[in-house]
A and B are shown apart, each in its own frame.
Chain A
Amino acid sequence: MSLTFLLLAVAALCALSFYFGRQRAVALSGGRYSNLHSLPAHYGTYTAMWCGIPALLLLLVWYMFQGSIIEAMIVSDLPAEITGDSGRLSLALNSISLIAAGNGEHLSVDPEVVEAGQRLANLQTIANAALVVVMLSTAMIGLALSYRKIAKEMRARNNVERIARYAMIACSGIAILSTVGIVFSLLFEALHFFSKINPIEFLFGLEWSPQTAIRADQVASEGAFGAIPLFVGTLLITLIAMFVAVPVGLFSAIYMGEYASSKFRAFAKPALEILAGVPTVVYGFFAALTVAPFLRDNGAVLGLDVSSESALAAGLVMGVMIIPFVSSLSDDVMSQVPKSLRDGSYGLGATKSETIRHVILPAALPGVVGAVLLAVSRAIGETMIVVMAAGLAANMTVNPLQAVTTVTVQIVTLLVGDQEFDSAKTLSAFALGLVLFLVTLGLNVFALKVVQKYREKYD
């Protein structure tokens, strides 16, 4: 029975329980709803909740553990020569799941593996059947128990509202849960990585080449994992992006907020916002197929050797992407500068630009700094533009005409395709992810604090 069908079945049961619960309440009321503590619909909702929620929770828990339990069962039955070698084991597990899915005809593997594949298929069938049975019976039991509890004086509304409140708290908790999830999944694999590679070498090493060993004395043919070239590349591209985004964004915001007629604003503001709504993969395509060749060809005319994956192309396009971000944030902070300050300056005979330069910008400076920091954090974490337009080779250079690589590019490169979860190569992506997360988080927390403080000043 497919998952969709199962969910539909539970939904149908819920609808049924609503009907039953309501009917019973109506019957108990003897036609006068005022005899009841709550409205009949509350009794219906009460039974429906007891029918659906435990069943769905069960489903969730089941799916969280089914995979790992079955895998453990399969692994325990495999011969030790396979389980002993982690590389072989993951290969075998791959084949097993292929066989179980019925796609393993072309594989030439040990008979144990084939057998395990069939066993896996069996286990999955059993597990699915068991899930259907357990889930539907949970729903039925919930229905029956809550149905029996319905009575005239039962406080159905209060019960329903209490459950609703718990549900709301649980939903709010998801935000915490995702942060915890991010931290733990990054930390777990990163620690795994640091048990193989010295964190000092990772953070301060000057050589990045995760594929092959380049020096004989390198850590056991695992390649080099010095991330400094990635950090330099990321910063270089971010810097180029900021050179575009900050002046253009800031001046756009100034013109829009202080000079433009409302007609011009009505046209230009949404146009700028379109820039923010364009998916990053589109910018990546634009950078790789339009901007980079343009720069390379024009560089050649000028006698410059511009790489076709130059940091400049990626940085420029990323800058364009961030323009609306900077401009709308600075617009926000500048419009918060109280009108009385402008009046004070105009009243002394200052021109608009003098007012902006000497009064508004200094007053809005903390907010603008916060906005720029948020933009930097966004540039550091941006992925698609650099994946498509920046290079893969970890060159240690600050020349914007050359190819550099970034943290996000490496994460994508390392994790797209087949992965072995015990090689330093794969794990290094999580270590990079951890660095990325911590840096952007730090920038954001700091920037939000700056902006917050600024807001309080003028509230």
Chain B
Amino acid sequence: MTDMASLMEDRAAAKVISGNLHTPVDWDSPKIARNIKKRYAAERRFKIYGLSAIAIALMALLVLGYSIVSKGYSAFFQTYVQLEIHFDPAEIDPDGTGDPAVIGRANFDSLVKEALRNRFPDVTDRRERRDLYDIVSGGASYDLRERVLDNPSLIGQTRKIWLISGDDFDMLNKGYISADTDEGDRRLNDQEIGWYNALTSDGAVEKQFHTRFFTNGDSREPELAGIWGAAVGSFYTLVVTLLLSFPIGVLAAIYLEEFAPKNRFTTIVEVNINNLAAVPSIVFGLLGLEVYLNVMHLPRSAPVVGGLTLALMTLPTIIIASRAAIKAVPPSIRQAALGLGASPVQTVTHHVLPLAMPGILTGTIIGMAQALGETAPLLMIGMVAFIVDVPGGALDPATVLPVQIYLWADSPERAFVEKTSAAIMVLLGFLILMNGFAVYLRKKFERKW
């Protein structure tokens, strides 16, 4: 009843006040008009801030993309030089055996050098000759060997053949080295540029699509370096990552979402997952170095160790995405299955999991994309070594695409800049594909309950 009393009291109070009014606002007064003008100006300014923030972010993206594409597109083409090669039988197969083993051992390099000497006969000085030989890449002799092994009838003939050029010559042809700068400031001297001009006027210099970039492993010679080795390394690493993190992540998500009782263990697990998601990647690298390499003595630089490390990093992403997907399956479906006498495990495996799978896969692909772009932890476990051979398995020493990019970015040769940018383009291409697929999955299976 005290409430009623206070109500009455309030009424009395309100009655008393109602006599005293504010003066009504004159909305047309100049003061208010000025104020409104100011407020709208502030509104416009604020909107411009927002728009410029987005513009800055998008500009950054554009500049980033432009700087990489403009630096990198040229790496997909390689300069070739046409020379007249005499397949000298005395050099290749002096005894005329025709045995591939003999031909394979022959010194094709000297054929190339001879062709260069014949093309520029007035070069006699030893140092100048060395410069002359740099026109053609060391890899050209392997090409010639392949050619002869494929077609032994070439022996004894003289043919005009396109040979892969050296990196400086390639840079000159692509315009990265300018003939106009001071001689001391460029990697090629005037004489070398003279050779280039002579060859160009013969029509003996051209750019061809650079398949080696996609099929070779790493090399000290930029024109011979390719991304295949790193791509295969990335592939093995991701396979190991996926094989570990997907089943573990999904099982953990199912447990936490469907079975876990609310107890201490569950709380600790959840706190841990959230925190692991934010631990700097390099710390995972330290973990990998200490546990996998120092304690378990797994092989250094191997994709299996990289995969083990990245799996721990990817796990929180997969668990969080899977839990969200499982949570999105409405309880009515579980009740329906349980009501028919299915066991909880059957309910999950027959009904909940298939419905949640698109969401789980989307999260997994995004996690894999993160793992594909990850560099720092792999540096810790030695995947940063210079590895020429394409790895044959998950236990062979290997490197991965982002680490290859890091290694090339550190190389002093000008030609590696374009290789780096091109490798970045390839890596980004893979990432776009993976994320695009994830978006497609999400769009296709999106379901509103």
Contact = CB atoms under 8 A, between A and B. Distances in A.
Whether A associates with B in a native complex is yes
Interface of A: 2-4, 63-64, 66-68, 70-71, 157, 160-161, 164-165, 167-169, 171-176, 178-179, 181-182, 185-186, 188-189, 247-252, 254-256, 258-259, 268, 271-272, 274-275, 277-286, 288-290, 320, 323-324, 327, 351-354, 356-357, 374, 377-378, 380-384, 387-388, 408, 411-412, 415-416, 421, 429-430, 433, 436-437, 440-441, 444-445, 448
A394 B402 CA distance: 27
Given A66-B297, A188-B290, A433 B283 contact: yes
A171 B246 CA distance: 11
Contact of A279 (B42, B256, B268, B374): B374
Contacts of A327: 57
A436 B283 contact: yes
A165 B417 CA distance: 52
Nearest to A444: B278
Nearest to B36: A351
B278 A378 contact: yes
B424 to A, nearest CB: 5
Contacts of B373: 277-282
B67 A290 contact: yes
A102 B281 CA distance: 35
A255 B47 contact: yes
A169 B279 CA distance: 23
Contacts, number: 273
12 contacts: A70-B297, A165-B345, A172-B256, A176-B269, A186-B290, A251-B49, A281-B405, A281-B409, A323-B57, A351-B42, A415-B286, A415-B289
Contacts of B52: 251
A5 to B, nearest CB: 11
A141 to B, nearest CB: 25
Interface in B55-94: 56-58, 60-61, 63-64, 67-68, 71
Interface string B401-422: 0110110011000000100110
Contact of A440 (B56, B279, B291, B375): B279
A247 B57 CA distance: 11
Contact of B272 (A175, A274, A283): A175
A201 to B, nearest CB: 22
Contacts of B420: 285
A281 B402 contact: yes
Interface in B262-294: 266, 268-269, 272-276, 278-284, 286-287, 289-291, 294
A252 B57 CA distance: 8
A285 B279 contact: no
Contacts of A356: 46
B40 A282 contact: no
Nearest to B372: A279
A381 B43 contact: no
Contacts of B216: none
A381 B281 contact: yes
A374 B384 contact: no
Contact of B282 (A283, A357, A412): A412
Given A4-B393, A168-B254, A374 B67 contact: no
A117 to B, nearest CB: 16
B298 A67 contact: yes
B255 interface: yes
| 6 A-B pairs with least C-beta separation | A67-B297, A381-B280, A255-B50, A279-B373, A185-B290, A251-B53
Given A171-B251, A173-B269, A356-B46, A248 B56 contact: yes
Contacts of B43: 351-354
Given A254-B50, A445-B275, A279 B409 contact: no
Nearest to B260: A172
B311 to A, nearest CB: 9
A441 B343 contact: no
Nearest to B425: A282
Contact of A67 (B64, B266, B278, B296): B296
Nearest to B42: A353
A165 B56 contact: no
A70 B68 CA distance: 49
B282 A411 contact: yes
B275 A171 contact: no
A175 B393 contact: no
B67 A168 contact: no
Contacts of A172: 251-252, 255-256, 260, 266, 269
B248 interface: yes
Contacts of A185: 286-287, 289-291
B54, B284, B369, B374 — most chain A CB neighbours (10 Å): B54
B376 interface: yes
A289 B70 CA distance: 13
Contact of B251 (A4, A167, A176, A285): A167
Nearest to A257: B50
B276 A175 contact: yes
B40 A176 contact: no
B231 to A, nearest CB: 14
Given A171-B251, A171-B255, A290-B67, A279 B272 contact: no
A280 B378 CA distance: 13
Contacts of A289: 67, 71, 409, 417
